[in-house]
Chains A and B, each alone.
Chain A
Amino acid sequence: DQQVKQNSPSLSVQEGRISILNCDYTNSMFDYFLWYKKYPAEGPTFLISISSIKDKNEDGRFTVFLNKSAKHLSLHIVPSQPGDSAVYFCAASAHSNYQLIWGAGTKLIIKP
């Protein structure tokens, strides 16, 4: 099941610079997309979301962009901080209360 893909297993970024995490999806029925952050042995923590009627959502240092025609979304973190080092998951659903379909995650490492 590859409906949601995160093709970069890991990403290393210098502290203070921009981190860009990418996610692609194949199911055109998805209308709600979320980003979660996860530390080892902890549960996913919600970061930011976007519905399919928007192309951008911003919350502090975090911005999510959605390109529906390309079935692609990205998470931008600016500026990146050491505490941002974690695994980031992209998830999607076909309705707000339906099951989430998850990507494989991208491990973000912020270098001091």
Chain B
Amino acid sequence: EPEVTQTPSHQVTQMGQEVILRCVPISNHLYFYWYRQILGQKVEFLVSFYNNEISEKSEIFDDQFSVERPDGSNFTLKIRSTKLEDSAMYFCASLGGGETQYFGPGTRLLVL
């Protein structure tokens, strides 16, 4: 069964460093999303991406964040200068022709 994959599973970085989180969505899907969950809090929407551009973004998704689909398979989230409060689980999701977003296993980001 097709699934969304994410790498790395864990990332530890120093505050101020750049990180790139990678996702491979389900191959025939057209909509891509990033969400995050800070420990003990709700899952929060960050950004959605369709037709090679951002279609929606939340207040969290400020200038420190960017997304890219550099080739036909990968979908990346870049945080330019990480802050302590960026520590969270980051989930990628994709949606095809239906109405259900399918999620990857997540990347646990720890900013020290």
Contacts and interface: CB of A to CB of B under 8 A. Distances in A.
B58 A99 contact: yes
A42 B50 contact: no
Nearest to A1: B42
B11 to A, nearest CB: 14
Nearest to B57: A99
A102 B33 CA distance: 14
Contacts of A34: 100-101
B104 interface: yes
A89 interface: yes
A104 interface: yes
A51 B99 contact: yes
Contacts, number: 57
Contact of A46 (B31, B91, B100, B105): B100
B91 A89 contact: no
Contacts of B45: 99-101
A104 B91 contact: no
Interface string B6-48: 1000000000000000000000000101010000001111001
B42 A102 contact: yes
Interface residues of A, number: 23
A90 to B, nearest CB: 11
A41 B106 contact: yes
A99 B101 CA distance: 9
B43 A89 contact: yes
A106 interface: no
A82 interface: no
A42 to B, nearest CB: 6
Contacts of A96: 95, 98-99
17 contacts: A34-B101, A41-B106, A43-B106, A44-B103, A46-B101, A89-B43, A96-B98, A96-B99, A97-B48, A97-B50, A97-B99, A99-B33, A99-B45, A99-B56, A99-B58, A100-B101, A101-B45
Interface of A: 32, 34, 36, 41-46, 49, 51, 89, 91, 96-105
